[in-house]
Amino acid sequence: MSAGNGAVPISPDGAVRLEGGVEVKAGRHREASLYHALAGAGAGDGRTLAQLREAALKVYERSELPVWRRSGFWSTSLQSLDLDALETSVREEGVPEVVRRTLPDGPHAGRIVQSAGAVVQVELDRALAARGVILCSLEQAFEQHGELVSEWYCKRLPIDRHKLEAANAAFWTGGAFLHVPAGVVVEEPFEIVYAIDRAGVAQYGRTLVLGGPTSDFRVHEYDLAEDFGDETPPAPGPGQSLHAGAFELYLQDGARCRLAQLQDWGSGEVFDCSTRFVGVGRDAYCHWLPALLGGHLVRQHLELAVMEKGGDMAFRGLFFAEEHEHLDVFAVDLHETGPSGGDVHWRGAATGESRASFEGLIQIDPGAQQTHTYLQIHSMMLSPKARIDAIPSVLVAADDVSASHGGTVGELDETAIFYMQSRGLDRAAAVRVIVEGFFEPLVAELGDEALEQLVRGRVAEKLAAAREDIEAYATSR
């Protein structure tokens, strides 16, 4: 697998420089893009883990907590995070209650659970282990499968863009490693769980997943926190927790993966600043669907890249922000070679005084001919003080491609509500039907009944919690 040798260098003024010195002038779309796709190789350039940790530590020490500002829109600032007050505990006992409560009982191929800084549970189907499937902590993987892990670790992820990325690379403990070897087909999902059960935790989650040639499998990641914000009186000590995550998944020739993520950090003051990279190899396919359902301040850099010819992807996602939550998603649909296919479809809703921003970038690198991709983002605002910014952008440096984007911004449709009321549904039920219907095309794509029910259930809970807010909005118009 080549490591992104077709990536586009982007200069600080936003212009794109192509091979041979040709410069593509920045258009309006370019100026609208605040974040950049990860360019070129990651930090894993042959250095040992210790060397990478040391390099990251230096960046950590000299950098400030990150702030991203977009004039006229919003700022995403992690500067209110009191990092010194948080601890990365590696002595954790047992699987946290929130995990027991939330995870479906259904069959799974394997499960790994990290609580705060320690892996507290690892399960793997014996028959799969016998066929060479590996599921263990990333720490253990470095000890026992050093050669395999080192080849892929940080292949595309950098460690130096900001303080929290560096902190993860320097301080991560536990972690998850999954390897599905060539030709292995697994029906049931592998579950990777990161849980925070109290305030005062800094969790540096680190995941590496490898899909060997023609392997076929599912990964369900859960990011869960106890509702420690609800404690009255408030628990003593700092009220914050942090999840700074780094996730990488590489699919080799002809591999197929369905990757779903359920993120719900509950009502506590949980900050989440994570980067996820999925690399699709030759003729491989990934269906990726994050469901971002809560967190005090969440910033996600999500990148799904076709790295070799014939790769194809479906990049889905949904989010639902409530109360005072702040969500900032940057999703990249990256094509490094062609022919390749992409299909990006996101849906988000916001209630209360929440803020959500979704920035979707289609980037087609030079030489990625015969790429066909489409990005759509639909949003629905359910309260007068909620705000969603949907910012699509397209960066194309090849001429035989099709790339476009579309989307809708919606509010509750009073005609639809009256229509349903005229059939006997009360107003709250009608609103629920509309919002659930809005998310349903994506929820149904999860393709896993238990996970679908979990997401539907959370959406219903959020709507119930925001009922008064939604009523007030309707009567104010």
Partner 1 sequence: MADLEIKDLHVRTEEREILRGVDLEINRGEIHALMGPNGSGKSTLANTLLGHPSYEITSGSIVFKGQDITESEPHERAKAGLFLAFQYPVSIPGVSVANFLRMAINAKRDEPIQVKEFRTQLQHAIELLDVDKAFTSRHLNDGFSGGEKKRAEILQMAMLAPDIAILDETDSGLDIDALRTVAEGVQRLHDEQGLGALIITHYQRILHYVKPQFVHILMDGRIVLEGGVELVERLEREGYDQIRQEFGGQGELAA
DSSP designation for 185: E
Tokens encoding 277 = 């990279």
Can you read off the two tokens belonging to residue 311? 């790769």
Tell me which residue of 155, 459, 447, 208 sits closest to 316, measured CA to CA: 447
Question: Among candidates 327, 332, 386, which has minimal Cα distance to 33?
Answer: 332
Q: How far apart are the first and last CA of the chain?
A: 55
Residue 323 Cβ, how far from partner 1 at the closest point, in Å? 25
User: Residue 434 Cβ, how far from partner 1 at the closest point, in Å?
Assistant: 7
**Site of interaction with partner 1 (CB under 8 A):** 413-416, 418-427, 429, 433-434, 436-441
Contact 417, 448 (CB under 8 A): no
Nearest approach in angstroms of CB 422 to partner 1 is 5
With respect to partner 1, which residue has the nearer C-beta, 100 or 418? 418
Cis, bond preceding 12 (omega within 30 deg of 0): no
| Rounded least distance, CB 408 to partner 1, Å | 11
Identity of the residue, 161 or 456, whose beta carbon is nearer to partner 1 in the bound complex: 456
User: Which residue number, 217 or 438, has a Cβ lying nearer to partner 1?
Assistant: 438
Contact 446, 289 (CB under 8 A): yes
CB of 184 to partner 1, least distance (A): 35
- Among candidates 375, 369, 358, which has minimal Cα distance to 335? 369
Dihedral sign for Cα atoms in the order 222, 244, 200, 117: positive
Q: How far is the CB of 414 from partner 1 (least distance, A)?
A: 7
**Pair 431, 468: CB distance under 8 Å:** no
3-state class (DSSP) for residue 116: coil
Specify the amino acid at residue 464. Answer: A
The strand ranges marked E within 200-268 are 202-211, 216-225, 240-251, 256-264
* Residue 474 beta carbon to partner 1: minimum distance, rounded to whole angstroms: 9
Yes or no: say if 51 and 57 are a contact pair by the CB < 8 Å rule.
no
> By C-beta, is 70 or 456 nearer to partner 1?
456
Shortest Å distance, C-beta 425 to partner 1: 5
For 354, 386, 475, the CA distances from 471, given in Å and listed in that order, are 17, 14, 6
Cβ-based nearer residue to partner 1, 23 or 413: 413
Least spacing, CB of residue 318 vs partner 1, in Å: 12
User: How far is the C-alpha of 195 from the C-alpha of 192, rounded, in Å?
Assistant: 10
Residue-by-residue DSSP string for 406-433: EEEEE---HHHHHHHHTTT--HHHHHHH
* Strands 110-115 and 185-196, bridge-based pairing: parallel
Q: Work out how close the CB of 54 gets to partner 1 at its nearest, in angstroms, rounded to a whole number.
A: 51
Which lies closer to partner 1 via its Cβ, residue 232 or residue 422?
Answer: 422
Q: Which is nearer to partner 1, 55 or 433 (CB)?
A: 433
Residue 410 beta carbon to partner 1: minimum distance, rounded to whole angstroms: 11
Q: Residue 458, Cβ neighbours under 10 Å: how many?
A: 17
Nearer to partner 1, 178 or 349 (CB): 349
Q: Strand pairing partners for 280?
A: 251, 306
Give the nearer residue to partner 1 in terms of CB position, either 129 or 429.
Answer: 429
Please state, in angstroms and rounded to a whole number, the distance separating the CA atoms of residues 312 and 289: 15
Kindly state the smallest distance separating residue 49's Cβ from partner 1, in Å: 46
The contacts of residue 444 (CB under 8 Å, 6+ apart) are 452
- In the DSSP assignment, the letter for residue 444 is G
Exposed, middle or buried: residue 98 (CB in 10 Å: 0-12, 13-18, 19+)?
Answer: buried
